[in-house]
Amino acid sequence: MAKPEDVRALGGTDYPRTYQEFRAWFAGEDACLEYLAALRWPDGFACPVCQGTKAWRTAKKTWMCSACGRKTSVTAGTIFHRSHTPLSTWFAAAWFVTAQKNGASAQGLQDMLGFGSYETAWAWLHKMRRAMVRPDRDRLGGVVEVDETFIGGRTAGKAGGSTDKVPVMIAVERLGPKRFGRVRLGVADTPGSLQLVAFAREVTEPGSTIRTDGALMFRGLADEGYHHEYVFTGYGAPEPGHASLPGPHRIASLLKRWNAGTHHLGVSREHLPYYLDEYTFRFNRRRSSARGMLFYRLLQQAVSTDPHPLKELIGGTARP
């Protein structure tokens, strides 16, 4: 079966291209339900009990299987599970979050939708972040540059690994002198550890070229099915790090700017992996000609993402 993003979506057919189209498409609750149903069951209805393919809509807006009589809600088991808020409001939130190049803060979402509490807006954003990365996504390929950076507020008198900032691992495809492909990000427990090597293996397709700094810990990659290239980036190196490993340095710069501009450096360590997921989602779709494509991909993944209750969200549980 093809993965969701392997299927080419068409603007104006699969997703609205502009805000005007968005309003016309989703004027009522029924239109939102039908849209989610098409995303959840792209090949037609499938009963979760007997796998029956025929059903009819009930007065309570559920689907009843013609074979076994099981009633199924299109929102059951998704990020919309048991929400008392109209789907039209959820759709507006998804559009607001994806239509803006740099995303939205919880305060901005609360102001836009008129939520009674900041906590509600915060929880909605985190539910959507849980849907921004597919667990079965493809690994990076070609030439992949790997390095790490540090994310967090200012720490006076300290630098790099001596700060209380969070080490973030970066892998990005290098397509040309100033061209980059997809990115993968991850939080490390400690800076400069073997965790960075494991991350490189996890996100990179065997047979690809992995380019790193000159740390000895990376040398074993050449014996594990990868082509390994390394450059010296420390003191006395022939060229600075931003020139020898431009991909990670560019991503680090953009990521820090996004953290400061959109989230005002207010991201906690326990929730940072999900903010990195959001950044990855945006960066990897930066060339989309219509913002509606991001809206479509978010909802497409939202219908296959678990509900994640507030207690779990607050705990910042680790991604599987």
Separation of alpha carbons 65 and 53, rounded Å: 8
Whether the pLDDT of residue 234 is over 70: the answer is no
Report yes or no: 124 and 138 within 8 Å, Cβ to Cβ.
no
For the residues 106-117, what does the mean pLDDT come to?
94
For the residues 183-193, what does the mean pLDDT come to?
96
The full DSSP string for 132-201 is: SS-TTPPPB-SEEEEEEEEESS--TT--GGGSSSEEEEEEEEEEETTEEEEEEEEE-SSTTSTHHHHHHH
Rounded to the nearest angstrom, the gap between the alpha carbon of residue 192 and the centroid of all alpha carbons in its chain is 25
- pLDDT at residue number 119: 95
- Local confidence band at 126 (pLDDT 50, 70, 90 cut-offs): very high
Separation of alpha carbons 47 and 50, rounded Å: 6
The pair of three-digit structure tokens given for residue 306, joined into one six-digit string: 């678990």
Q: What is the CA radius of gyration of the chain?
A: 22
The SS3 call for residue 226 is coil
- Local confidence band at 153 (pLDDT 50, 70, 90 cut-offs): low
Whether the pLDDT of residue 154 is over 60: the answer is no
Angle at 149 between CA 313 and CA 198, to 5 degrees: 75
For the residues 83-91, what does the mean pLDDT come to?
96
The pair of three-digit structure tokens given for residue 304, joined into one six-digit string: 């296959």
- pLDDT at residue number 264: 78
- Local confidence band at 206 (pLDDT 50, 70, 90 cut-offs): very high
Report yes or no: 30 and 60 within 8 Å, Cβ to Cβ.
no
Report yes or no: 193 and 184 within 8 Å, Cβ to Cβ.
no
Closest by alpha carbon to 155, among 166, 145, 165, 146?
A: 165
Closest by alpha carbon to 146, among 168, 126, 162?
A: 168
For the residues 275-304, what does the mean pLDDT come to?
94
Instruction: Give per-residue pLDDT as tens, 54-86.
Output: 999 999 999 999 999 999 999 999 999 999 999
- Local confidence band at 249 (pLDDT 50, 70, 90 cut-offs): very high
Report yes or no: 151 and 272 within 8 Å, Cβ to Cβ.
yes
* Superfamily of structural domain 143-267: Ribonuclease H-like superfamily/Ribonuclease H (3.30.420.10)
Give the residue with greater pLDDT, 54 vs 178: 54
- pLDDT at residue number 1: 46
The pair of three-digit structure tokens given for residue 71, joined into one six-digit string: 């009633």
Q: What proportion of the chain, given as a percentage, has pLDDT over 70?
A: 90
Give the residue with greater pLDDT, 171 vs 102: 171
* pTM for this model (two decimals): 0.89
- pLDDT at residue number 23: 96
Average pLDDT over the chain, rounded to an integer? 90
Distances from the Cα of 37 to the Cα of 32, 63, 304, angstroms: 9, 10, 12
Q: How many CB atoms lie within 10 A of CB 70?
A: 15
Residues of the chain with CATH 3.30.420.10: 143-267
For the residues 145-171, what does the mean pLDDT come to?
76
For the residues 117-137, what does the mean pLDDT come to?
94
Whether the pLDDT of residue 236 is over 70: the answer is no
For the residues 282-294, what does the mean pLDDT come to?
92
